[in-house]
């Protein structure tokens, strides 16, 4: 069985989107070749990408564009070609290349993906999914990119979580642009 991994940026004050639902702040403008190399190598890891509707629409509006393909060619190629699953009760179709729409049975679908996939499954963004799948105890690892910005207000990935989840820090990595990767696993 393969792992379900959350990979999300968070602000220093713990938000994954700002008060307008935007994530632009997460694109650290401080140039860092090591960070750029990490992002590119992370993208080519393969696997299945999982999104909720809002994040899917955001990703679909960016990664297939000529700008994304010019500025981030390695990441764009992989984002556009990897298999993707979008969970939404309101969408009628998913038109981004290699995407499958699932309208119900999210937990069952994730269990099936974990048992059928030969690579890890990654959730990008999708705070509502993160919260729901945390509640179902289906997430195997949380990878947070702490970005050196303070938003003051926004939304946490864990809104609506009932109870407490204890996690164990398994790795950290610091980049010269100020980003810090923290990896946690549920205890």
Distances (CA, A) of 156 to 2, 11, 12, 97, 178: 26, 10, 12, 29, 21
Q: Percent of the chain scored above 70 by pLDDT?
A: 96
Mean pLDDT of the chain: 90
The confidence score (pLDDT) of residue 171 equals: 96
Name the pTM for this structure: 0.90
The CA distance from 148 to 104, in Å, is 37
Chain segment 138-170, per-residue pLDDT in tens: 999 999 999 999 999 999 999 888 888 999 999
Chain segment 98-115, per-residue pLDDT in tens: 999 999 999 999 999 999
User: Looking at the domain assignment, is residue 186 inside a domain?
Assistant: no
User: Looking at the domain assignment, is residue 72 inside a domain?
Assistant: yes
User: Looking at the domain assignment, is residue 181 inside a domain?
Assistant: no
The confidence score (pLDDT) of residue 138 equals: 95
User: Looking at the domain assignment, is residue 177 inside a domain?
Assistant: no
The confidence score (pLDDT) of residue 104 equals: 94
Q: Which domain holds residue 84?
A: 4-25+32-170
User: Looking at the domain assignment, is residue 116 inside a domain?
Assistant: yes
User: Looking at the domain assignment, is residue 183 inside a domain?
Assistant: no
Mean pLDDT of 23-46: 77
Q: How many domains does the chain have?
A: 1
Cβ proximity of 94 and 102 under 8 Å:
no
User: Looking at the domain assignment, is residue 46 inside a domain?
Assistant: yes
User: Looking at the domain assignment, is residue 77 inside a domain?
Assistant: yes
The confidence score (pLDDT) of residue 1 equals: 61
Q: CATH code at 143?
A: 3.40.430.10
Chain segment 13-22, per-residue pLDDT in tens: 999 999 988 8
């Amino acid at each position: 069985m393969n792992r379900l991994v959350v990979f999300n940026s968070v602000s220093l004050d713990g938000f994954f989107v700002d008060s307008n639902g935007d994530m632009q702040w997460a694109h650290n403008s401080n140039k860092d070749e090591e960070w750029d190399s990490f992002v590119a190598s992370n993208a080519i890891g393969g696997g299945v990408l999982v999104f909720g509707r809002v994040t899917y629409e955001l990703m679909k509006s960016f990664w297939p564009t000529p700008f994304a393909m010019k500025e981030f060619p390695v990441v764009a190629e992989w984002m556009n070609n990897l298999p993707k699953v979008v969970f939404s009760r309101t969408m009628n179709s998913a038109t981004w290349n290699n995407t499958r729409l699932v309208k119900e049975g999210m937990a069952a679908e994730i269990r099936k993906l974990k048992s059928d996939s030969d690579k890890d499954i990654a959730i990008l963004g999708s705070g509502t999914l993160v919260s729901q799948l945390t509640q179902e105890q289906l997430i195997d690892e949380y990878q947070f990119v702490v970005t050196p910005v303070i938003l003051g207000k926004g939304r946490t990935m864990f809104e609506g979580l009932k109870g407490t989840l204890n996690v164990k820090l398994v790795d950290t990595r610091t980049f010269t642009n100020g980003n810090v990767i923290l990896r946690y696993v549920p205890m």
